Amino acid sequence: MIEIKKLAKKFAVENPKNLSEQEKKDPRLKGRFFHSVQDVSFICKKGEVLGLLGPNGAGKTTTLRMLSTALKPDSGSVEIDGENVLAQPVIARKKIGFLSGSTGLYGRLTGRENIHYFGQLHGMNEKSIANRIQELADLLDMHSFLDRRSENFSTGMKQKTAIARAVVHSPELVILDEPTTGLDIMATQTVLEFIRGLKEQGTPVIFSTHHLDEVQELCDQVTVIDQGRTMFDGDIASFKALAEGSLHQSFMAAIQ
Amino acid sequence: MWLVFKKEIKELIRDRKTLFFMIALPLLIFPLIIGIVGFVSKQAIDKAETQILNYALIGGQYAPDIVQDLQQPDKFNFVEVSEGADYTAIIRSETVDFVLVIPENYSSNVLDNGQANVKLYFNDAGLNLVYRRVNEIVKSQSELFQQRAFSDLGLDEAKQSALIEPIVLEKVNTADARENWGEKIGGMLPYVLFLLCLTGAMAPATDIGAGEKERGTLETLLISPIDRNKIVMGKFLTIAFAGTMTALLTVTSMVVWGLVLSQGMAIKFVADFMAQIAMHDFLLIFLMLVPVVAIFAAVLLSISIYAKSFKEAQSYMGPMSILVVVPIMLALLPGVELKGVWAWVPITNVSLAMKELVKGTMDYYQLFAIFGSTVIIAGALFAFCVYWFNQEKVLFR
């Protein structure tokens, strides 16, 4: 179980002139600081899939980066099974598998080497890395391109490799930042299947997305963020109940 | 740490572009370029030497000997030009290559007629050997006239040379050949070595920091359960290794090509010179590179990790090669010697030490100062790198 309470993060604005028009109008810009995330809380239990929704610039990526310990929150807490992750980031990194939205691969290494490297960084031994790669390649249908250099991969191949890399150490929690953005329908389907597989194994998954049909299909919990604050946090049924009609209506109602 | 190093090296080796700059360039391209330039310039000089020059001669009647000497159809071709012609114009229009004007007072009897001022009009811009070729003829005449004047005066040989040059200032160099050449070669060595180290380290440095950021692999690496300073160390070692290898390869290739290309005399000179430098001095020269490379690697890595993209990193690194030249140039200034404060100035002290080592006049106690100051600076820069790698505003710029 992962519990996030009142996360907040501000960034120093080095040159206010470089901000976009939209950012200048944003109420989160206070003096020399941009308060990207102000108050985000949610809980994701074992075997649940949580969908993180919100408009562009709402603070989704910043929130997920804080969860993955890439960024340090200014306040708030992140607890995995009751253990405070922020105090011991290295332990948290072993428990979490994180796939960022803008992730890439080492182009001059093969798919297998990319995954292998991160297995090594996670302190796994050769045998278990080899077994795990075999297992993941079966699961994600990667055998045809696993031993080719990843610079020539298609977007779908890259995303599959990136997912395999993120979960090579069999993490207790998987965080995916917009995992289906920019993928074709088949690749999207593979990613969704994979999330479903994790859910069946009881691994909690938190993923951000703009596709409400994915939320409908997979999510048990929904959290909506806007302007760095949690606007809605609850199960899918109560999210649907926010408005009549489609999930889009519910989403609009949540950020009102 | 070795994990990161091993992976970076693996990537580096697979990168043809970087590898090309690191290995192929110094090994093959430079000698090839030098060879081509040498070949072409030799061709050009040969052509200038053998080319038949069109000339006009004014006042030829005063100097029948010169007229006769110029009558070599395979070298010179006479063109008739009127005395009042505009010499500049006819040379520009390529009617003639040069105009030789001999004055009236031209005579073998220099004691009575005085110095003859022979004028040579030609276009001296660009490569040409007009002056040299005409001078050959005029000079031999001049010497003949001189001899005749001397014998007319009845001077013996001792008096003749005393008259030509009454006082001679003779150089007696107390430096042996090694010190003499060491000053020149040893002064150039740091230029070549440092700049090669720097260029060799630049390509992998860009790739390892800004490249990872641009490709989006950095974030994933940062959240893997490995200490930041181990990541930094691995990357730092890769850059330093690449820089050192480039320098070593290039120097080796220069020596090999130098031996291959130079023949006879030169080979003996090089061999003699090298034989005078003890093995441990050679080793020290390369050991000295280590702290310098460490400084370079730390600076390059900091720049690279700060930059948002490849392009940004490259534009920050560009001025570095200029900055590096400054302390090396300081080492070449007169009065700057390897002692006192100068032994503590980074890069300058290593340049000085390299020179001293080649010259064979090294004060080995100064090694403490050299290694001391470079290790402190490299260490501080490395610590800064680690600090930089923990800054969110640097990593997620």
The three-class DSSP label of residue B259 is: helix
Among residues B103, B129, B164, the one where a domain terminates is B164
Q: Nearest 5°: CA angle at B291, between B342 and B12?
A: 145
Q: Which residue of B has its CA nearest to A12?
A: B393
pLDDT at B71 (0 to 100): 87
B143/B185 same-domain check: no
Closest Cα in chain A, distance from residue B381 (Å): 24
Among residues B108, B140, B164, the one where a domain terminates is B164
CA A106 centroid distance within chain: 20
B126/B251 same-domain check: no
Structural domain containing residue B344 = 176-395
DSSP state of A37: E
B225 with A123: Cβ contact below 8 A: yes
In a domain, A76, yes or no: yes
B104/B219 same-domain check: no
B270/B146 same-domain check: no
Can you give the CATH number for the domain in which A183 is found?
3.40.50.300
B144/B234 same-domain check: no
In a domain, B12, yes or no: no
pLDDT at B270 (0 to 100): 67
Can you give the CATH number for the domain in which B84 is found?
3.40.190
Structural domain containing residue A72 = 2-103+172-255
Mean pLDDT highest for which of A71-80, A127-136, B17-26, B351-360? A127-136
In a domain, A108, yes or no: no
Of the listed ranges A7-16, A240-249, B139-148, the least confidently predicted one is: A7-16
Strand partners, A225: A230
Q: How far separated are the first and last CA of chain B, in Å rounded? A: 25
Strand partners, A98: A175
Residues in A touching B15 (Cβ below 8 Å): 108
Residues in A touching B11 (Cβ below 8 Å): 106, 108-109
pLDDT at B93 (0 to 100): 87
B144/B201 same-domain check: no
Question: How many domains does the structure of chain B reveal?
Answer: 2
In a domain, A145, yes or no: no
Report the residue from A91, A102, A108 with minimal CB separation from B14: A108
By the 8 A CB rule, do A149 and A166 touch?
no
A147 confidence band (pLDDT: 50, 70, 90) = very high
- Distance between CA atoms of residues B213 and B11, nearest Å: 16
pLDDT at B330 (0 to 100): 86
CB contact, 8 Å: A107 with chain B? Answer: yes
Average pLDDT, consecutive stretches of 10 residues, N- to C-terminus, chain B (397 residues): 85 79 71 81 83 87 86 86 83 88 86 87 81 89 88 85 88 80 81 84 89 88 87 92 83 72 60 72 80 90 90 89 86 82 86 85 84 88 90 80
In a domain, A7, yes or no: yes
Q: What digits encode the pLDDT tens for the residues A209-221?
A: 999 989 988 999 9
**What mean pLDDT is predicted for residues A106-134?**
93
A100 with B14: Cβ contact below 8 A: no
Among residues B131, B164, B197, the one where a domain terminates is B164
Token pair in block for residue A166: 């993120």
In a domain, B44, yes or no: no
Selected for mutation to probe chain B from A15, A32, A108, A126 (highest B CB count within 10 Å) is A108
pLDDT at B228 (0 to 100): 85
Question: Whose CA is closest to B296, among B213, B351, B374, B210?
Answer: B374
CB pairs below 8 Å between A and B: how many?
Answer: 70
Question: How many domains does the structure of chain A reveal?
Answer: 1
In a domain, A73, yes or no: yes
In a domain, A203, yes or no: yes
Report the residue from B215, B219, B226 with minimal CB separation from A121: B226
